[in-house]
């Protein structure tokens, strides 16, 4: 088994198809990924792309949400739409025996979305409730505030869910305009796998995409992290402090040293117990219930971020400890023992990351989307296995930008 990439011609439009045949279970998985259609498309209207996904959940205009859902439930077919950061995705999963009904239903949804006032009002009502609930989720509040600091005055600073005002202002024409611009053949990448032949997969792509407008493909923007370190305190009625921190990370997709960042950040903060942040802040000092750090390297942005929760009276000391741990990490690097443990975990857990069809298809998609070769994951593992301590520490010492930490803190 193994995924492959096939270039199809759909009405004079080149469309990549990521395909894998897997007959171990009689299931089919289909994703239609539309580039440049996630929350980065919300510059003119916070929450728009997510609202579009919610409208698709209201079924077709012909059947409405209830009858469309009953049509799917009768055959145990799952269809969903969701908005990511950079992409807008439709998913279909079903038993092989019901594949045709599933594809027909997804085709109907693509060509006859429920662009009605009633459907939009339902989306608005549900979304307003979610916004209200999130206002008391202090992890969410701190995380959103950090994003606003890191990506000030850009679309990435906007809440993907939107605000009460932006959601109320949505109109059916806004949804239609988004669909006309983003759900088009030129932006599509298809991901299909399971118990179906390559011919069946290509025929499915033709059926689903041929009726769509050709559209146009635009270049993804890139957003630099705000170089000015800052801090924002959000006062809430809370019994603990939520401390979120972040900084620039000078790396872009395709960087030859990305595998080194995986190892470095694993040791610093993404490995849970055993990581520097957890060991120093929770285990040794007892200042936090949890402490994590990670790096995001996307096509539109790259940054380091982390978080912890602590007692109100420990807030300042915990924040000081974060600064100290990260500075020591950059200045002195890691030990041979830490490197060896990281290697054992990253190499040993690899089979768990490719157990399922969806995991393998997802990995192949990410490699393709970021411009990497199909065997990129194995290449990275080989490089990690051969990584020497001096090379890793040299890499860490070159990324002093992660010391420029901004903080978003929710506290009493």
Q: How do residues 248-270 score in pLDDT, each as one tens digit?
A: 999 999 999 999 999 999 999 99
Mean pLDDT of 357-377: 89
For the purposes of burial, counting CB atoms within 10 Å of the CB of 74, is it exposed (0-12), middle (13-18) or buried (19 or more)? exposed
**pLDDT grade, residue 411 (50/70/90)?**
very high
CATH code of 190's domain: 3.30.830.10
Q: Structurally, how many domains does the chain consist of?
A: 2
The verdict on residue 406 lying in a domain is yes
In angstroms, the CA 412 to CA 373 distance is: 49
Give the end of a domain, one of 174, 209, 244.
209
The verdict on residue 224 lying in a domain is no
In angstroms, the CA 29 to CA 19 distance is: 10
Q: What is the pLDDT of residue 118?
A: 96
**Predicted confidence (pLDDT) at residue 2 exceeds the cutoff of 80:** no
For the purposes of burial, counting CB atoms within 10 Å of the CB of 367, is it exposed (0-12), middle (13-18) or buried (19 or more)? buried
Same domain, 24 and 137: yes
Look at the block and give the residue holding tokens 């118990």: 195
Same domain, 319 and 389: yes
Same domain, 159 and 241: no
The verdict on residue 220 lying in a domain is no
Q: What is the pLDDT of residue 321?
A: 95
Same domain, 115 and 241: no
Phi, psi of 128 (to 5 degrees): -60, -40
**Predicted confidence (pLDDT) at residue 307 exceeds the cutoff of 60:** yes
Same domain, 258 and 298: yes
pLDDT tens, 174-211? 999 999 999 999 999 999 999 999 999 999 999 999 99
Bridge pairing between strands 240-248 and 87-95: unpaired
Residue range of the domain that includes 13: 4-209
**Predicted confidence (pLDDT) at residue 228 exceeds the cutoff of 60:** yes
Q: What is the DSSP string of 82-98?
A: EE-SSEEEEEEEEEGGG
For the purposes of burial, counting CB atoms within 10 Å of the CB of 286, is it exposed (0-12), middle (13-18) or buried (19 or more)? exposed
Q: Which two tokens stand for residue 390?
A: 């001096």
Give the end of a domain, one of 175, 209, 243.
209
The verdict on residue 219 lying in a domain is no
CA 184 to chain centre: 21
Same domain, 132 and 252: no
Look at the block and give the residue holding tokens 């000015």: 228
Mean pLDDT of 347-352: 84
Are the CB atoms for 47 and 159 separated by under 8 Å? Answer: yes
Same domain, 252 and 199: no
Are the CB atoms for 88 and 53 separated by under 8 Å? Answer: yes
Same domain, 258 and 185: no
Same domain, 49 and 140: yes
CA distance readout (Å), 310 to 235, 376, 409: 15, 39, 11
Q: Which residues pair with 31 in a beta bridge?
A: 91, 191
Same domain, 125 and 263: no
Percent of the chain with pLDDT over 90: 89
**Predicted confidence (pLDDT) at residue 327 exceeds the cutoff of 60:** yes
Same domain, 155 and 265: no
**Mutual orientation of helices 258-265 and 336-348 as an angle, nearest 10°?**
110
**pLDDT grade, residue 112 (50/70/90)?**
very high
Are the CB atoms for 136 and 238 separated by under 8 Å? Answer: no
Same domain, 180 and 291: no
Q: What is the pLDDT of residue 408?
A: 98
The verdict on residue 223 lying in a domain is no
Q: What is the pLDDT of residue 289?
A: 81
What pTM does this model have?
A: 0.93
The verdict on residue 170 lying in a domain is yes
């Amino acid at each position: 088994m193994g995924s492959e990439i096939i270039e199809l011609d759909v009405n004079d439009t080149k469309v990549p198809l990521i395909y894998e045949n897997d007959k171990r279970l009689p299931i089919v998985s289909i994703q239609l990924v539309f580039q440049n259609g996630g929350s980065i498309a919300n510059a003119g209207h916070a929450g728009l792309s997510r609202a579009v996904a919610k409208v698709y959940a209201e079924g077709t205009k012909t059947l409405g949400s209830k009858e469309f859902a009953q049509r799917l439930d009768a055959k145990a077919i799952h269809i969903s739409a969701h908005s990511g950061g950079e992409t807008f995705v439709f998913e279909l999963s079903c038993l092989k025996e019901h594949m045709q009904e599933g594809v027909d239903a997804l085709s109907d949804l693509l060509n006859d979305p429920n662009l009605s006032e009633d459907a939009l009002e339902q989306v608005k009502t549900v979304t307003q409730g979610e916004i209200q609930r999130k206002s008391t989720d202090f992890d969410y509040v701190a995380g959103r505030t950090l994003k606003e600091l890191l990506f000030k005055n850009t679309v990435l600073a906007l809440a993907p869910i939107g605000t009460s005002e932006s959601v109320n202002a949505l109109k059916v024409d806004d949804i239609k305009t988004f669909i006309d611009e983003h759900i088009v053949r030129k932006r599509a990448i298809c991901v299909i796998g399971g118990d179906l032949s390559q011919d069946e997969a290509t025929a499915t792509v033709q059926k689903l995409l041929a009726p769509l407008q050709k559209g146009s493909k635009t270049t993804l923007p890139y957003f630099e992290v705000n170089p000015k370190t800052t801090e924002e305190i959000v006062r809430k009625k809370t019994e603990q402090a939520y401390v979120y921190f972040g900084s620039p990370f000078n790396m872009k997709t395709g960087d030859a040293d990305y595998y080194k960042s995986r190892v470095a950040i694993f040791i610093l903060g993404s490995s849970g117990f055993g990581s520097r942040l957890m060991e120093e802040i929770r285990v040794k000092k007892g200042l936090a219930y949890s402490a994590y750090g990670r790096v995001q390297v996307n096509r539109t942005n790259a940054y380091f971020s982390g978080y912890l929760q602590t007692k109100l009276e420990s807030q300042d000391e915990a924040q000081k400890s974060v600064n100290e741990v990260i500075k020591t990490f950059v200045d002195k690097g890691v030990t041979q023992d830490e490197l060896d443990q990281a290697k054992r975990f990253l190499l040993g857990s690899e089979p768990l990351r490719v157990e399922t069809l969806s995991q393998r298809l997802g990995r192949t998609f990410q490699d393709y989307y970021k411009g990497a070769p199909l065997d990129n994951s194995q290449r990275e593992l080989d490089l990690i296995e051969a990584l020497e301590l001096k090379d890793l520490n040299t890499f860490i010492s070159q990324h002093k930008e992660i010391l420029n930490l901004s903080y978003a803190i929710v506290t009493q």
